[in-house]
Amino acid sequence: MPASRRWLLAVLLNVLISVSSPRRQASGRLFLRVLLLENCDGPPLPIRFVDRKISWIKDLGHVVDATVSVSKSIASFRMVFVELKRCRDPQRLDVCEYYATWSWRTAICNLVVMPGMIWTPILHSISPPIKCPLKAGTYHAVNSTWDLNSALMKEVLEDGMVWKGDVVFADPNNASAGCLRGAIQGVKRNFQ
């Protein structure tokens, strides 16, 4: 093959590869932006936020300090239900599209306290420690955040999309024990 054809073939291959490759990631470090953290609408449930503060810490991004009240002991959880929506605009959290629903019905207590999960850093920030049975009382989270080093969180937060979700906990009688709503977004920041 003549040199001019090899050159043209190389250029075409580079163009095809760059077009078909995933888009380049924005430069900078990935941080979490917490846009919303609240109790779901409706009557008060046994598990409720009573206070929360969202702060920006340079090396961590947004962290949450929260006080959660558990008004009655809960022996175990029968179900955890998560509904996730994707929103394009952090200023319009009321305009989102349905993304996915998950529910867990077995070994929920083991799943919640399992090490290496995306929520493990949140659990480590809570005192007294969360465990089953969940005792009535007041729980405090300090500098709480998700595990941004997990592949799942990097993938989900990379594109700058806003993720809004409700997490519902059901007690052994299948009654709602808690419903918490939140919205997060990944942001890239460069720091010198």
When pLDDT is cut at 50, 70 and 90, the band that residue 4 belongs to is very low
Over residues 163-180, the pLDDT tens digits come to: 999 999 999 898 999 999
Least confident of 129-143, 149-163, 171-185: 149-163
Q: Which of 108, 92, 111, 104 is nearest to 164 (CA)?
A: 92
pLDDT-based confidence at residue 138 (cuts at 50, 70, 90): very high
Query: What are the sequence ranges of the domains in the chain?
Result: 29-189
**75 has which bridge partners?**
none
Phi, psi of 9 (to 5 degrees): -65, -40
Report the candidate in 58, 93, 96 with the shortest Cα–Cα distance to residue 189. Answer: 58
CB 66 within 8 A of CB 51: yes
φ/ψ of residue 7, rounded to 5 = -65, -45
For residue 110, give both structure tokens.
């083991």
Confidence of residue 81 (pLDDT cuts 50, 70, 90): very high
State the Cα torsion 170-147-131-126 to the nearest 10°: -110
Q: Where are the alpha helices (DSSP H) in the chain?
A: 3-20, 108-113, 120-124, 151-157
What would the pLDDT profile of 14-60 be if each residue is shown by its tens digit? 333 333 334 444 567 788 899 999 999 999 999 999 999 999 988 77
Structure tokens at 118: 């995306």
| CATH 3.30.110.60 is the classification of domain 29-189 | no
Instruction: Indicate the average pLDDT of the chain.
Output: 83
Which pTM was predicted? 0.77
